[in-house]
Structure 1
Amino acid sequence: MAHIDYYFSTISPYAYLAGARLEEIAAKHGATITYKPLDIMAQFSRTGGTSPKDRHVSRQEYRAMDLVRQAKMLGMDFNLKPAHWPTNMAPSSYAVIAAAKAGGGDVGALVQSLMRACWVEEKDIAEDSVIKECLTNAGFDPSLADSGLLVGAETYARNLEDAVEAGAFGAPFYVTDDGARFWGQDRLVYLDQHLADAS
């Protein structure tokens, strides 16, 4: 059975635009997924990237145009300048980690709910009430937002180390168990083909 390590940031617009396609591809090929939220700003600094606000104006302008284009092509609601971005990624990431460990709900749906809250619903995903709502919507106990914080912090930090070691330098980033790497939601079609070829 194939496996995919999914490295992402809960505030990444490109990870939001991935929607449920990773989960659909995994189900199609009988693959499993490990969700590995990380601090994307730390990842940038570790792997030669630059924070969006520090990029040359031409890159910032292109990113803005490209995000709107991609959202339109995908038929997804999208707010280019959400009220609560950037925000603290850690609380929502800890919730994803706790939910994956606890089980009983849909981790993919939780990740998508958190990102939709940021990029569509004008909610601050660093807030406890927003995280609990997303946990509930994905079938998890909302109290997970208040538990396992130490484990969450340790796992969150380890995910960054794992990403750097695996060669992941942005988000979303997908790494298969045979070492194939795919960067960006627009590369999911290549991940799909890779899994088909490997089966």
Structure 2
Amino acid sequence: MADIDYYFSTLSPFSYLAGTRLEEISARHGASIAYKPVDILALFSRTGGVPPKDRHPSRIEYRAQELQRQARKTGLAFNLKPAHWPTNAAPSSYAIIAAVRDGGGDVGALCHSILRACWAEDRDIAQDDVIRDCLERAGFDPGLADSGLLVGAETYAANLEEAVDRGVFGAPFYITRDGQRFWGQDRLGDLDAHLAEIKG
């Protein structure tokens, strides 16, 4: 069992804006991470959420302001209206699942590379060539983009069921071994403090 179960979506701008802070926190505390990509739209429908396009205009406007504020705070390049969003998140999620199983590279770097491709580089993360490039940059065999698709689909579906059962309702979402839940990249400081407290 990992010290931190990390539920996220490769389509989530807030998952992108987390940057590599989870990995930095994990390294600081010697904590392991289980990466669990989920179908965010299915998660919303199962847990009372609403897809961004269907929200009330006041919520849509606030989300746009908050994303730009958070991007400035993190210093990450960010495009509020990327050219290829929304797109099919399954292929990139399957690649992450295959990379976790295969090992040999940096999963955190892979996740961030895929998210950055969508939110800062205007690339379509449903496309094979984009996924292969992200895999290679993170130290994985780019052929993983084409392997283990059935296992990827099964794991992706299982991640969703597990997320719903464990009280996950958005992304990014972090659950520690002792059951503490943290929703959003703006709660990473709280996660850091909690890990320090239970370690200490």
Equivalent residue letter for 1:7 = Y
Cα displacement (A) at 1:74: 1.0
Partner secondary structure for residue 7 of structure 2: strand
Partner secondary structure for residue 36 of structure 1: strand
Instruction: Tell me, yes or no, if the aligned pair for 1:2 and 1:195 is still in contact at 8 Å.
Output: no
Cα displacement (A) at 1:185: 0.1
Q: Which residue of 2 aligns with 1:84?
A: 84
Q: Which runs of 4 or more aligned residues in structure 1 lie more than 6 Å from their structure 2 counterparts after TM superposition?
A: none
Q: Deviations over 1:155-198 (max 9, x none)?
A: 00000011011111000000011100000000000000000000
Q: Which residue of 2 aligns with 1:156?
A: 156
Q: Which residue of 2 aligns with 1:173?
A: 173
TM-score relative to the length of structure 1: 0.99
Q: Does 1:184 align with 2:171?
A: no
Percent identity of the aligned residues? Answer: 71
Cα displacement (A) at 1:52: 0.2
Q: Deviations over 1:68-107 (max 9, x none)?
A: 0110011110000000000000000000000000000000
TM-score relative to the length of structure 2: 0.98
Instruction: Tell me, yes or no, if the aligned pair for 2:87 and 2:124 is still in contact at 8 Å.
Output: yes
Instruction: Tell me, yes or no, if the aligned pair for 1:2 and 1:30 is still in contact at 8 Å.
Output: no
Q: Which residue of 2 aligns with 1:69?
A: 69
Unmatched runs of 5 consecutive residues or more in structure 2: none
Alignment of 1:36-47 (within 5 A): 36-47=36-47
Cα displacement (A) at 1:2: 6.5
Count, aligned residues: 199
Q: Which residue of 2 aligns with 1:7?
A: 7
- Cα distance in 1 for partners of 2:187, 2:73 equals 15
Alignment of 1:130-141 (within 5 A): 130-141=130-141
- Cα distance in 1 for partners of 2:11, 2:45 equals 17
Equivalent residue letter for 1:91 = P
- Cα distance in 1 for partners of 2:98, 2:183 equals 25
Instruction: Tell me, yes or no, if the aligned pair for 2:94 and 2:152 is still in contact at 8 Å.
Output: yes
